[in-house]
């Protein structure tokens, strides 16, 4: 009916994309508050607003989450130009404020003036924990910028509350994010800060962080496992992720009780970052020297990567493949073929396992069941899959080699 159509059209106007509606900001100076160029938006909001990432019931919805750059003191405001009402529209608007309150800790302000007075306290904010590493990045606008990586834990005064404010960002930038129980003392926290000047004083801005859980390995070792890692969007693409991961690796390598360093469900981007950092660390080891690479992946490589850098065999294998690619003249057909076979041999492992399992299944499956399993993987398809995997791998490896060359 006409009424329903008009109603639907009207209600459609009251739907807002929550990734656009949410405005995030890291504020250093009072004038940043009204400066749109310092605003950034979530990549994800499904954990808070459902899979459609939509808030219903508002026109012109703006959800402001502004943070003081260092301590992350929070300004939280919800604004809109109009809102549906139960009386007139017989529908209820989503409780946007309630949904946000569920993921941000108490202690925020809703008043801009109060927030600006909190900014003045930023001069007292000092990075938590112990300093692990300092590095500089040259930027076109600002010249030399200095960064510090710190290791912290929940015993640092004020850190627990700070971490609760910081981890909210995970919801907006990591698809499968979940909050951790920071009270468990097996968590280590690594934080990146940028030094900046304000009225002649040195202040610190939060850049990003990583959480690592220390698993016990019988009888007396630990296996640190990277759980979460986020460089905040205004700082992405400047190399901070690599600096952080390398500093964390070096820290754990210095502890005798650490067996190796792993990661929990690593994303594709994390794997690329890790490849880059581990190659950078391993390229100086004698067993990975250029003249050893064409002899194949050796027990010496496994041992040296494990003993000196706490890198497990699987990761050491990737490092070897990348360094070997760099040392191989791929325009020489014989050398290129040798390299290709070497990588495909590793990639073929899972297929071989599949075939062993198929052989086992043949003994216990009815013919029609078997056909459905068999057709999944005929030899031709296998070869094509394998070739595609190989091309993808080499493309990733080449990017890492280029990045190493540009950093050298």
Q: Report the half-sphere exposure of 105 (CA within 13 A, side-chain side).
A: 15
Phi/psi region, residue 312 (left: phi>0; alpha: psi -120 to 50; beta: rest), is beta
User: How many C-alpha atoms does 172 have within 13 Å on its Cβ side?
Assistant: 24
Which residues fall within 8 angstroms of residue 27, CB to CB, at 6 or more apart? 33, 38, 66, 67, 68, 69, 115, 119
Are 36 and 30 contacting, i.e. CB atoms less than 8 angstroms apart? no
Does 264 qualify as catalytic in the annotation?
yes
Buried (b) or exposed (e) across 185-224, using 16+ Cβ within 10 A? Answer: eebbbbbbbbebeeeeeebbbbbbbbbbbbeeeeeeebbb
Q: CA 24 to CA 18: how far, in whole Å?
A: 12
Residue 202 has phi, psi (to 5 degrees) of -95, 125
């290709």: which residue's tokens?
Answer: 340
3-state secondary structure of 27: strand
Closest CA to 164 of 241, 74, 93: 74
Locate 198 and state its tokens. Answer: 């304000």
Q: Which of 13, 92, 120, 264 does the annotation list as catalytic? A: 264
Nearest to 153 by CA among 229, 213, 73: 213
Written as six digits, the tokens of 211 are 């959480």
For residue 95, the SS3 value is coil
DSSP 8-class letter at 57: S
| Angle at the Cα of 187 from the Cα atoms of 184 and 193, rounded to 5 degrees | 130
- Going by C-alpha positions, the residue among 385, 397, 400 that lies closest to residue 351 is 385
Interhelix angle for 379-407 vs 333-362, to 10°? 130
Query: Annotated catalytic sites, by residue?
Result: 264
């Amino acid at each position: 009916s006409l009424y329903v159509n008009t109603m639907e059209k009207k209600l459609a106007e009251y739907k807002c994309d929550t990734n656009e509606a949410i405005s995030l900001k890291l504020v250093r100076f009072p004038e940043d508050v009204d400066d749109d160029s310092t605003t950034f938006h979530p990549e994800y909001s499904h954990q808070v607003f459902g899979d459609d990432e939509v808030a219903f019931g508002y026109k012109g919805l703006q959800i402001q989450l502004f943070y003081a750059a260092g301590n992350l003191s929070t300004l939280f405001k919800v604004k809109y130009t109009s809102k549906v009402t139960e009386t007139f529209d017989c529908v209820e608007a989503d409780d946007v404020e309630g949904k946000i309150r569920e993921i941000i800790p108490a202690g925020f302000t809703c008043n801009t003036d109060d927030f600006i007075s909190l900014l003045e306290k930023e001069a007292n904010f000092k990075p938590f924990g112990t300093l692990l590493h300092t590095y500089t990045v040259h930027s076109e606008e600002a010249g030399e910028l200095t960064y510090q990586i710190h290791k912290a834990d929940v015993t640092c005064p004020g850190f627990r509350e700070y971490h609760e404010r910081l981890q909210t960002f995970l919801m907006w930038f990591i698809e499968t994010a979940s909050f951790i129980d920071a009270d468990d003392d097996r968590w280590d926290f690594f934080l990146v800060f940028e030094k900046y000047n304000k009225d002649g004083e040195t202040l610190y801005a939060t850049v990003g962080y990583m959480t690592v859980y220390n698993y016990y390995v019988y009888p007396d070792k630990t296996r640190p496992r990277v759980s979460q890692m986020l460089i905040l969007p205004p700082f992405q693409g400047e190399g901070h992720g690599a600096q952080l991961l390398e500093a964390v690796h070096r820290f754990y390598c210095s502890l005798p009780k650490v067996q190796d360093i792993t990661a929990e469900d690593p994303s594709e981007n994390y794997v690329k970052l890790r490849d880059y950092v581990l190659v950078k660390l391993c390229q100086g080891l004698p067993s990975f020297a250029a003249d050893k690479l064409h002899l194949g992946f050796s027990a010496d490589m496994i041992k040296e990567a494990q003993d000196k850098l706490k890198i497990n065999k699987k990761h050491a294998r990737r490092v070897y493949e990348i360094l070997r690619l760099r040392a191989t003249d791929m325009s020489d057909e014989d050398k290129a073929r040798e390299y290709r076979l070497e990588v495909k041999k590793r990639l073929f492992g899972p297929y071989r396992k599949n075939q062993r399992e198929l052989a086992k299944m043949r003994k216990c499956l009815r013919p029609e069941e078997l056909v459905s399993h068999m057709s999944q993987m005929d030899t031709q398809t296998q070869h094509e899959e394998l070739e595609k995997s190989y091309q993808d791998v080499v493309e990733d490896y080449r990017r890492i080699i280029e990045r190493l060359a540009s950093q050298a």
